[in-house]
Amino acid sequence: MRVSNHRRAGVDDVFGRLDEIRGDLTALYKDLHAHPELSFQEHRTAAEVARRLGDLGFEVTTGVGGTGVVGVLRNGAGPTVLLRADFDALPVLEQTGLDYASRERATSSDGSDVPVMHACGHDMHVTCLLGALDLLVDARSRWSGTVLAVFQPAEEIGAGAQAMLDDGLLERFPRPDVCLGQHVFPFRSGAVGMMTGPSMSAADGLKITMFGRGGHGSQPQNTVDPVVMASATVLRLQTVVSREVAGDDTAVVTVGSIRAGSKENIIPEQAELLVNVRSFDERVRERVLAAVRRIVRAEAVASGADREPEFEQLTRFPLLLNDPDATARTAGALRAALGEKSVVDLPPAMASEDVGLFGTAAGVPTCYWFFGGTDAVRFQEAVAEDAVAERIPANHSPHFAPEVEPTLTTGVKALTTAALEWLD
């Protein structure tokens, strides 16, 4: 299905309504940012999304996969285009200093009281999708088909997409012909970044418990010290990528947390490691995971542990594959609508996403892109001085705060353009 140059030229007319709704979208974004919610706890956000979808004339279903919301807009015969936004936040203490910064706290899945922040931009994703849906409703005379708006919970723990699929997303609602989505990212605002093929890594989150034998700190000879055992394990795990993964393959092994003990003169009974593994190839993935398990078990034996370590899979993100044809088609539409210089090619990202599960389950193409959220001048200065990592807060940082404009406008335009490209 091709879209004429005449129609692409007319996309600017669709964008005209943005001037009317930009103020409301900005207020919505700031409200969502100030009131973040953890994975599968997004009740306030889901209620606001459902209300707005209803006001736009969508068929609205709530509680899909827990807290997910699905909106359906039927507009005659034609393709079904799935547009996805995630809406959960993170257990991060916000330090942006914004007047709409989050001060929320919540109870995490392990029962801990934690601060909550939209440190990954999901509030921006929700706002952009609602803005794009508003434009598409207003422009119904220009297209035909069905828009399937999916507002997904629990992306941060890699569980939301599968939960919605398990709850009958593909059986209860129109089956999509393509799945589209986007993510705000710390590069220059106003730009859209495209990736083709393997685009975002697979990721595995593991909780590893290593067991020792506790006792008094003055008598280590009568114990098996799990702190020493875990420390040796952390160091040994750093050899997996450097010595067991080929130079032309890619993998990352990170120990993000180590917990053990409660007092300086008590040798504890156990230690806990939280380990993250990322890769772009299934063969590499399995090899790295096997190496992690082998090293953990070997260090336990070397320490004289009486009990085998325990492994718990916390998260499992799929590899995100951007369909080459779908990506090329979508990128062409974005360049026509936003300008050639506004659409750039990006390398694969070691970050992870579960959005690809929708396209895989439906057997249809997925196209997922990034849009910039950092002041363009500030970003270029950081690039020129090779100081991006030091000066530009990245996703999951307590300082991460997308510039509201032109980030919001770019995200709305990108989703609207992509949807129109795939609708008749």
With beta carbons less than 8 A apart as the criterion, state whether 295 and 232 touch.
Answer: no
Rounded CA separation 421/331 (Å): 10
Nearest to 203, CA basis, from 265, 277, 139: 277
Per annotation, catalytic residue among 37, 134, 155, 323 = 155
Angle at the Cα of 87 from the Cα atoms of 400 and 20, rounded to 5 degrees: 85
Rounded CA separation 318/52 (Å): 31
Q: Which residue has the tokens 């685009």?
A: 199
Rounded CA separation 341/191 (Å): 8
183 marked among binding-site residues: yes
Rounded CA separation 197/123 (Å): 27
396 marked among binding-site residues: yes
Is 155 part of the annotated catalytic residue set? Answer: yes
156 marked among binding-site residues: yes
Residues 218-228: b if buried by 16+ CB within 10 A, e if exposed: eeeeebbbbbb
Per annotation, catalytic residue among 37, 42, 86, 88 = 88
From the number of C-beta atoms within 10 Å of its C-beta (0-12, 13-18, 19+), residue 90 rates as buried
Cis peptide before 406 (omega within 30 of 0): yes
Is 424 part of the annotated catalytic residue set? Answer: no
Catalytic residues: 88, 155
Annotated binding-site ranges:
120, 122, 156, 183, 396
Q: Which amino acids are annotated as binding site for Mn(2+), given as ranges? A: 120, 122, 156, 183, 396
